[in-house]
């Protein structure tokens, strides 16, 4: 019998060929299977990020990617189609691949959209506020959109509960809203106006009768009822007293004005035999002239105030000095041509406004004080019957205050020396507590008399003041 060792040895020597044949068959079968699988498997394209995506307007398109495979083979993919990020709309990107005779395509839809809201920028002015009870005055704003650009004109506004609400919508329907808090404040003091004269004359023992006052606030309107009045007035003792008027608005802005009360005894005499006290309004017509500068120096020396009724073709360079000295500047005429200015109402007002504008252009003062050439009682206008009756009403309707005079220096006819002017003036003032004096600063001798007039007035208790719309007007009877 063969030993087991011999048998195993014979098996090894005769069994190699069958193993080789079996291995080759298996490989062939594997190749065949793979070939069949490749032929049977589709070429697949798989999109990364989905078949439809959104791209925000203004951003660059970044390809999310696509995978192509056939079994375990990676396949190159080609793409086509542009996506402009700066144009709203829908765009298609097409992907294609080819391998071993197989082809495949897939598409991706890219929507360029605008989902960014516009911006509203509010402007702010320094120290800006709205008066209480008044409408908000817009400080300014700008609305901008990343796609539409400047859309300020599309902004809608609404005021509610102390805020201004702003809203704007862009072409894609995106909405922006902001609000501004309205700052209410008032820094302007009320305007307090005294009715009647700024100086009131009362006889000893008589009561002071309040002429009245009016207070107007820019925010609150008429606040006359808030005015507080205090005075040291004593009707039984001659002297000069003060009435103080003070008013404050709800924001603490206040205004204070005063009125003088001169209490005098009509029987009380000075050593010179003249009534005690009063006010003298020195007024000068037809200038300025070469004498005006000297006149202003005299007035400044005594701190006396005067009123200048000026003519348009004269030395208007002195107007600044008149205003700077605290004097009143007033209208007389542009031409002082009687036949021209009294030809008609229209001609008169053309002349009036011409000189008013010259004064304003030179000084910034819009004066409404005036004196008719020749006075309201003049006879030089008789060639136009009734014109003075009409004009005296019309000027007041248009907001002017006209003045005549109750003391005439006669320097326009009769008086030719400074002594004559002086005597005419002081004799006219002696019997009055309020004198409106007519002089002309175009006459040197009349200007020469002014210092002595002031000295006499101060020695006898008079003050020298400039005219205001509340001063005595000394109106004459109208003769035409």
Q: Cα dihedral angle (343, 346, 348, 353), rounded to 10 degrees? A: -160
Do 141 and 150 form a contact (C-beta atoms < 8 A)? no
How far, in Å, CA of 356 to CA of 437, rounded? 22
Cβ-based neighbours of 2, under 8 Å, separated by 6 or more: none
Instruction: Point out the catalytic residue in the list 186, 440, 441, 443.
Output: 440
**Has 147 been annotated as catalytic?**
no
How many Å separate Cα 38 from the centre of its chain?
85
Do 454 and 304 form a contact (C-beta atoms < 8 A)? yes
Give the closest residue to 449 by CA, choosing from 412, 424, 470, 467: 424
What would the DSSP string read from start to end of 379-408?
STTTTSTTHHHHHHHHHHHTT-EE---SEE
The tokens describing 157, both together, are 């506004």
Interstrand relation of 175-181 and 163-169 (parallel, antiparallel or unpaired)? antiparallel
Q: Count CB neighbours of 211 within 10 A.
A: 14
Counting other chains too, the contacts that 159-167 makes at CB distance below 8 Å and 24 or more residues apart are: 159/135, 164/136, 164/138, 166/120, 166/122, 166/141
Q: Which residue has the tokens 């009055």?
A: 432
Instruction: Point out the catalytic residue in the list 186, 217, 285, 334.
Output: 285
**Has 440 been annotated as catalytic?**
yes
Which active-site residues does the annotation give?
285, 440
């Amino acid at each position: 019998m063969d030993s087991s060792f011999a048998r195993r040895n014979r098996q090894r020597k005769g069994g190699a060929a069958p193993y080789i044949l079996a291995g080759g068959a298996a490989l062939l079968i594997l190749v065949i299977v793979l070939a069949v699988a490749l032929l049977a498997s589709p070429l697949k394209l798989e999109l990364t990020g989905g078949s439809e995506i959104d791209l925000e307007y203004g951003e660059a398109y970044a390809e999310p990617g696509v995978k192509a495979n056939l079994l375990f083979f990676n396949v190159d993919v080609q793409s086509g189609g542009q996506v402009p990020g700066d144009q709203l709309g829908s765009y298609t990107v097409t992907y294609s691949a080819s391998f071993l005779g197989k082809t495949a395509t897939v598409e991706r839809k890219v929507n360029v959209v605008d989902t960014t809201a516009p911006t509203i920028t509010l402007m702010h002015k320094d120290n800006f506020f709205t008066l209480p009870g008044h409408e908000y005055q817009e400080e300014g704003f700008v609305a901008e959109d990343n796609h539409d650009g400047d859309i300020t004109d599309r902004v809608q506004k609404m005021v509610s509960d102390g805020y201004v609400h702003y809203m704007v919508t862009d072409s894609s329907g995106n909405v922006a809203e902001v609000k501004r808090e309205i700052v209410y404040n008032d820094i302007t003091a009320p305007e307090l106006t005294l009715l009647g004269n700024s100086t009131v004359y009362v006889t000893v023992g008589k009561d002071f009768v309040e002429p009245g006052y009016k207070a107007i606030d820019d925010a609150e309107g008429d606040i006359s009822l808030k005015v507080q009045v205090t005075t040291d007035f004593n009707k039984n003792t001659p002297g000069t007293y003060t009435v103080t008027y003070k008013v404050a608005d709800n924001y603490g802005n206040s205004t204070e004005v005063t009125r003088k009360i001169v209490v005098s005894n009509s029987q009380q005499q000075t050593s010179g035999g003249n009534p005690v006290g009063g006010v003298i309004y020195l007024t000068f017509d037809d200038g300025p002239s070469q004498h005006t500068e000297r006149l202003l120096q005299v007035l400044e020396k005594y701190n006396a105030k005067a009123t200048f009724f000026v003519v348009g073709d004269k030395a208007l360079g002195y107007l600044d000095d008149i205003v700077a000295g605290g004097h009143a500047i007033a209208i007389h005429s542009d031409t002082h041509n009687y036949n021209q200015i009294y030809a008609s109402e229209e001609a008169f007002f053309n002349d009036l406004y011409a000189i008013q504008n010259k004064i304003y252009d030179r000084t910034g003062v819009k004066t409404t004080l005036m004196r008719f050439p020749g006075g309201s009682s003049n006879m030089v206008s008789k060639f136009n019957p009734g014109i003075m009756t009409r004009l005296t009403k019309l000027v007041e309707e248009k907001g002017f205050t006209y003045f005549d005079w109750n003391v005439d220096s006669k320097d326009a006819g009769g008086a030719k020396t400074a002594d004559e002017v002086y005597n005419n003036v002081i004799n006219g003032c002696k019997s009055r507590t309020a004198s409106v004096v007519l002089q002309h600063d175009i006459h040197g001798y009349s200007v020469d008399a002014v210092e002595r007039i002031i000295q006499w007035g101060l020695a006898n208790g008079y003050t020298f003041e400039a005219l205001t719309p509340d001063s005595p007007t000394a109106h004459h009877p109208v003769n035409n």
